[in-house]
Amino acid sequence: MEFEGRAPFAVDGLPPSCETWYKVFGDLKDISKVPLFVLHGGPQAGHEYLLSLRDLHEPIIFYDQVGCGKSTTGLPEQTGDGSWWTSQLHCKELSNLIAHLGLEHRPIDVIGHSWGGMLASEWASDRVRAKNLRRLVLYSSLASIEGHVKGLEETRALLPQDVQSTIERGLKDQDFESPELKDAMDVFLTGYVSLSQPFPCDEVKPAFVNLATSKLHKIVWGPHFLVPSGLIRSWTSIPFLHQIQVPTLMTRGSVEYIPDSAMQPFFDLIPKIKWITFENAAHFSHIEQREKFLTEVRHFLAD
């Protein structure tokens, strides 16, 4: 059983006609089952690259965060004004979607990948907002942008010296479209972001296309993958992580670009947390170590 729809989403600063697109696999009317919400990365990567998680659990709900994919786009980012964008806006959007589906009084689980995990950690830290949250999965995510920037430096230091020098020069000159920088970034991306070949593989290609073509992504994140200097630059979950009281699973790939240090605050501050590292995986463990990933997450959700 599957169906899709649109949830009206009225938020100050956004057009009154805003909608969140969603797709559900499974029967939401079966109260013996706990619905699982999937929060995609980016920001603005869209839901497509996570669709294989439908084999993880039913019912499962995928959605595109407003501003990308099949949800309302063409927002004020076209004029360069992304001031309406905040992580709190997307927390409200998740709560709005839960209510739209009539699930605000039923236990739910949430899994967030990358930026989606950042958003999930912030949403889950509000005990009133997340009162019906049962389990939380933070998948290849980070606890703060400050920690992430330091982590990127750690990962770049693992690259060959000539690649490091090319990236450093390209970022310093802000020549983000230079062939030399793109070639150096291919080394970084294929070593620490996605191990699947060809790169990007068909499953993750939609996310890379969405990020490359989204004006809003550049406003929110910054001008380059390695330069998180946009509206998100001061984001942190660290002050409120102790407020997450539900059992939490944190996962990462053993060779991904987000190092242990950027995720450590989750483990240190969330009271009930388990940490799993998937060997021979980068940022997309659900693809690179599919069976192990599905088995571990299923076990956690069923526990």
Residues 264-292 have pLDDT tens digits of 999 999 999 999 999 999 999 999 999 99
Q: Quick one: 28 exposed, middle or buried, by C-beta within 10 A (0-12, 13-18, 19+)?
A: middle
Q: Are 133 and 108 in contact (CB under 8 A)?
A: yes
pLDDT of 77 strictly over 70:
no
Q: What is the largest CA-CA distance in the chain?
A: 57
Domain 2-147+230-302 has CATH 3.40.50.2300: no
Q: Provide the pLDDT confidence category of residue 17 given band limits of 50, 70 and 90.
A: confident
Q: With CA atoms as reference, report the closest residue to 21 among 130, 97, 98.
A: 97
pLDDT of 12 strictly over 90:
no
Rg (CA), the chain: 18
Q: What is the pLDDT of residue 74?
A: 83
Q: Are 297 and 111 in contact (CB under 8 A)?
A: yes
Q: What is the pLDDT of residue 272?
A: 98
pLDDT digits (tens, 9 = 90+) for 230-267: 999 999 999 999 999 999 999 999 999 999 999 999 99
Q: What is the pLDDT of residue 157?
A: 95
Q: Are 63 and 21 in contact (CB under 8 A)?
A: yes
pLDDT digits (tens, 9 = 90+) for 89-100: 999 999 999 999
Q: Are 112 and 39 in contact (CB under 8 A)?
A: yes
